[in-house]
């Protein structure tokens, strides 16, 4: 029987090794050992922890999947509000944004960082002295749901930060939980084989998976995560967003490799166009690019509005649209008594969402267009979820 002293030493070695190989595999995507060798390390660790259960720590690689389903998710207050972003749909929207930023700052030029806008759900993860202690969904931006146990099941979430150039006492980071398209399709294949209902699209699949009360079920779902912002940091100074991303990488937090530093607004627009072309070749869904002012001091000076910062904007791609037909038009009464005309459509699949009704709430649009039952129309998903009629195809 191995002594407790020796066991402790070996356990620490094994954890370090496993963390390192997790990092190589899940963050860098460059494994150095075979799955079998990895499993062997894991098995050895499990056995030692069984012999000395008091040596088990919450950040041990064996503790990714918690034992008990939660009764409910507790509410967590974020270390800092998690904001959403204003949208830009055209180049001139982005140029206006750039002009406003420069005007407010009183400067001639501003450097930006541009990155793909991932289609998932955003979460906050808190690390205390390098150890993952709490994770939560965005919720209303101030309070979210505690999904710590579920986040721990995502292999790309380090349970402990990589040390090296030092780690902060407190670190709260923001990330986007996503499901890769091929994983999503494979999951649906499996669900159908089991006689269960397939999931509608990767984004909702990711959101739903993270909200399962039983972490064992979440562990079965192929989730991934990218990190893109430091919300709170104590014990270290960071002066621009680009460096913040560099720090995240050093700590073993996966950052999207398509992020780019842009010296002016023209470059952000070129970046957007490039990403629009690249969009279909990516393994995950994106619906635009995010453009952020690089200098954090500038960000602070620009400040925030109620729900979004003045220093960032989401430059959206044109929505994907499909053709269908209006079956009927009804008037819907909202819970405040608001009347909204709604087109009932022949159901059509628009990138994973079955659209069967679309509100005709855009007044300008209704005034210009003469929409009738039987018309062929093109419908798109605005904001990815809300269907709207974008074009009426008249058969005159």
**Binding site residues, DNA, CB under 7 A:** 71-72, 84-85, 87, 96, 100, 117, 121-122, 137-140, 144-145, 199-201, 204-205, 207-209, 211-214, 217, 287, 305-307, 310, 314, 316, 332, 334-336, 338, 340, 342, 353-357, 359, 361-363, 382-388
- Choice between 55 and 329, CB closer to DNA: 329
Minimum CB separation from DNA for residue 265, in Å? 16
- Choice between 36 and 338, CB closer to DNA: 338
Other Cβ atoms within 10 Å of 54 Cβ, number = 7
- Choice between 46 and 378, CB closer to DNA: 378
- Choice between 117 and 247, CB closer to DNA: 117
Active site residue 117: yes
Cβ(377)–Cβ(345) below 8 Å: yes
Q: Which of 9, 80, 117, 261 does the annotation list as catalytic?
A: 117
Which residues contact residue 9 at a Cβ distance below 8 angstroms, ignoring those fewer than 6 apart? none
- Of 354, 269, 351, the C-alpha closest to 313 is 269
Minimum CB separation from DNA for residue 239, in Å? 24
| Tokens 């999931």, located at residue | 199
Minimum CB separation from DNA for residue 340, in Å? 6
Cβ(45)–Cβ(30) below 8 Å: no
- Choice between 144 and 158, CB closer to DNA: 144
Pairing of strands 260-262, 286-293: unpaired
Minimum CB separation from DNA for residue 296, in Å? 19
- At residue 94, φ and ψ (nearest 5 deg) are -70, -40
Other Cβ atoms within 10 Å of 256 Cβ, number = 16
Minimum CB separation from DNA for residue 79, in Å? 16
For 252-320, the DSSP string reads T----TT-EEESSHHHHHHHHHHHHHHGGGSSS-EEEEEEEESBHHHHHHH-B-SSSBTTEEEEEPPPP
Q: Is residue 82 within a helix (H) or strand (E), and if so which, with residue range? A: none
SS3 letters for 98-116? HHHHHHHHCCCCCCEEEEE
Residues recognised as catalytic: 117
């Amino acid at each position: 029987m191995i002594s407790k002293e020796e066991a402790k030493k070996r356990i620490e070695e094994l954890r370090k090794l496993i963390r390192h190989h997790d990092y190589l595999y899940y963050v860098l995507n460059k494994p150095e050992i075979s799955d079998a060798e990895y499993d062997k390390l894991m098995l050895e660790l499990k056995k030692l922890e069984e012999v000395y259960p008091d040596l088990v720590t919450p950040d041990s690689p064996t503790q990714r999947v918690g034992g008990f389903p939660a009764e409910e998710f507790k509410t967590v207050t974020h270390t800092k509000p998690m904001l959403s972003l204003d949208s830009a749909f055209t180049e001139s929207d982005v140029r206006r944004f750039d002009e406003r930023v420069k005007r407010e700052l009183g400067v001639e030029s501003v450097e930006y960082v541009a990155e793909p806008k991932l289609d998932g759900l955003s979460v906050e993860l808190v690390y205390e002295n390098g150890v993952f202690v709490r994770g939560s969904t965005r919720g209303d931006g101030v309070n979210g749901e505690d999904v710590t146990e579920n986040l721990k099941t995502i292999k790309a979430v380090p349970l402990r930060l990589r040390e090296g150039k030092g780690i902060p006492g407190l670190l709260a980071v923001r990330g986007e939980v996503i499901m890769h398209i091929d994983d999503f399709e494979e999951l649906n294949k499996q669900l159908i084989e089991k006689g269960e209902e397939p999931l509608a699209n990767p984004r909702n699949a990711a959101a739903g998976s993270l909200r399962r009360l039983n972490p064992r079920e979440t562990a079965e779902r192929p989730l991934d995560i990218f990190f893109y912002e430091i919300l709170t940091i104590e014990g270290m100074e960071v002066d621009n967003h680009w460096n913040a991303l560099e720090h995240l990488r050093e700590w073993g937090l996966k950052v999207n490799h398509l992020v780019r530093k842009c010296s002016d607004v023209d470059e952000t627009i070129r970046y957007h166009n490039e990403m629009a072309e690249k969009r279909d070749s990516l393994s995950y869904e994106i619906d635009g690019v995010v453009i952020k002012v690089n200098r954090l001091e500038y960000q602070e000076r620009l400040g925030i509005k109620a729900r979004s910062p003045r220093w960032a904007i989401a430059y959206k791609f044109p929505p994907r649209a499909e053709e269908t037909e209006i079956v009927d038009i009804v008037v819907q009464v909202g819970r405040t008594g608001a009347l909204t005309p709604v087109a009932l459509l022949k159901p059509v699949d628009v990138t994973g969402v079955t659209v069967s009704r679309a509100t005709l709430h855009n007044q300008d649009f209704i005034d210009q267009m003469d929409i009738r039952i039987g018309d062929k129309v093109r419908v798109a998903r605005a904001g990815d979820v809300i269907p709207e009629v974008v074009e009426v195809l008249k058969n005159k």
